[in-house]
Chains A and B, each alone.
Chain A
Amino acid sequence: MRILIFNILIVLFLFSKVTAQNAAFKPIADADMPACMEKIRNASASLTSLQCSFTQNKNIAVLSESVISKGILLYKKGNKLCWEYASPYYYLFALNGDKVYIKNDNSTRQFDTKSNALFKEISLLLMNSISGSELIDKKKFDVAFFESSTRVQVKLTPKNKTMKSVLNTIILYFEKSTYMVSTIEMIEPAGDTTTIVFNEIKINPPISNERFVVTL
C-alpha cells in the first residue's frame, strides 16, 4: 500500500512538472513574431564559431527505453562542424567544406557531400540546427512561436510528406539571453523522441581549423 501511494505521488509529481513546463510557454502574438525572428537571425549572423557539450536522449517508445549519448560540438563559419560523441562510445562526425569524415574505434572514412546526397542532407540539418535560423522555413514547416520568461520555443511541423513520415514535430528552444538554440526536441510518428541539450555554450571562441580535419 505504501509503495502504491509512493508511486502515485511520483506520477503526480512528474505530471505536475510536465504541466508546469507547458504552462510556462505562451503563444507569441503574430505582431511580435517578426521581431523575435529578427533577433534569432541577428544572433545567427553574428555567430562565427561555437563550442559546447551536449547530451542526447533518444527515447524509444515501443521498448520504453532510452539511450543517452554525450559529447562535444564545435562549429566554425565556413561549413565547419565537428560532432564528437564520447559516450556510450566514441564516434566522430566532422564536416569541413564539402568533406565529411566519420571516425569510430575501428575506422575513419571520408565522403564528399557533393556526391553523396544523404550526407549533404545530414550535414545541412546539423549545420542549421546550430543557430536554428535556417530551420525556421515557412515553406517547409508550419511554424508556431511560444515564449516563457527566459526562452523562446519554436514548433516546426513539416509540410513535406516524406519529412512528415520521419518527423511529426521539431521543437527548438532559444535562450532569450543569446537567441541561440539550447535544446532541440524531435518527435517521430511512432512516438519516439530525441532531445539534444546543449550545455556550456561558448559563443565565438577561437577554434583552430585542424579540429575539423581527421587524418585517414
Chain B
Amino acid sequence: MRGLLSLCSLALFLTSCNSFICKNAINKSVGRQDIIEDFFDTLNVRKFKTGIHYGSNEITGIIIYKKLNDSIYAGSFINEFGIRGFDFKLSGNRVGMENMIKNIDKWYIRKKLENDLHFLFSRPEMISPCSIDKTPVYVSTVNRSLHYVYYTDGKMWTGKADMYKHSDKVAEMNQYADKSSRLVIKMRHINCKLTYDLSEITP
C-alpha cells in the first residue's frame, strides 16, 4: 500500500513537472518551418568566432558547424592556434561529444556542453503553441523535463528563446544580426556564470 502511494505521489509529481509553465497549451504540434528559419539555407557550413566564459575563465576559438546530411549535423571547436577543444554530432534530440581535450573531458562538462550545444544549434522539427505570462510562444519538448520556449512576434521567431528544466528557466538565448555579423548568438545560464558568445565569421 505504501509502495502504491509512493508511486502515485511520484506520478503526480512527474505530471506536475511535465505540465511545465505553459498555459493554454494546444496538444497539437506544428512543423516549425514557417515560424523558425532553418539553420542552413544556402550554405551547408557555418563558422563562428566563439567565447565560452565561466566566471573569470574563458576559452575562445572557432566553432565550425556543418550539415552532413538531412538528419546529422557535426561541429568542431578549435582555438586560435588550431588546437582542437572538442567535436560534437547533433542528430534529432541527441548530441554526442567526441575528441574532447583532456583537461575538460569530465562527465559533468560533457553533459553541460551536450545540453547547451543542442539548445544553441538545434532547430526543432515540431513545436506546440501555448502562452507564458500571456505571451504567445512556441514550445519544443526535448524530453520529459527539458523544454525550449521560442518567442514570436505573432508570426516568426524573434530570436529569443529560453531553456526550461521542469518548470524552471535555466538558460536564455538571443540570436540576431548586427553590423559585423550575419548571426550573433548569445546564451546565458541563469543559475551559474556560464555564457556563450558566438558571432558568425563572414565567408
**What is A's interface to B at a CB cutoff of 8 Å?**
56, 58, 60, 62-63, 65, 67, 69, 85, 88-89, 91, 93, 104, 106, 118, 122, 165, 186, 188, 190, 192, 194
Contact = CB atoms under 8 A, between A and B. Distances in A.
Nearest to B202: A88
Centre residue among B66, B82, B102 by max chain A CB count within 10 A:
B82
Contacts of A67: 47, 62, 64, 78, 82
Contact of A60 (B78, B103, B201): B78
A60 B47 CA distance: 13
B123 interface: no
A62 B76 CA distance: 9
Contacts of A118: 103
A132 B121 CA distance: 41
Contact of A63 (B45, B60, B81, B201): B45
B172 interface: no
A62 B60 contact: no
B23 interface: no
Interface residues of B, number: 21
25 contacts: A56-B81, A60-B64, A60-B78, A60-B84, A62-B87, A63-B74, A63-B75, A65-B64, A67-B47, A67-B78, A67-B82, A69-B82, A85-B80, A88-B49, A89-B49, A89-B201, A91-B60, A93-B80, A93-B81, A122-B81, A188-B84, A190-B84, A190-B99, A192-B84, A194-B81
A56 B49 contact: no
Given A88-B62, A190-B99, A69 B76 contact: no
Given A69-B80, A93-B80, A88 B201 contact: yes
A63 B102 CA distance: 21
Contacts of B80: 69, 85, 91, 93
B87 A194 contact: no
A146 B148 CA distance: 57
Contacts of B51: 106
A122 B62 CA distance: 18
A56 B78 CA distance: 13
B198 to A, nearest CB: 12
Nearest to B47: A67
B186 to A, nearest CB: 12
A77 to B, nearest CB: 23
Contacts of B45: 63, 65
B41 to A, nearest CB: 18
Interface in B81-100: 81-82, 84, 87, 99
A97 to B, nearest CB: 21
B134 to A, nearest CB: 37
Contacts of A63: 45, 64, 66, 74-76
Given A62-B74, A88-B49, A91-B60, 5 more contacts: A69-B80, A118-B103, A186-B82, A192-B84, A194-B82
A72 B157 CA distance: 42
A106 B58 CA distance: 12
Nearest to B101: A166
B84 to A, nearest CB: 7
A85 B60 CA distance: 13
A62 B87 CA distance: 9
Nearest to A106: B51
B82 A58 contact: yes
B71 to A, nearest CB: 16
Interface string B19-50: 00000000000000000000000000101010
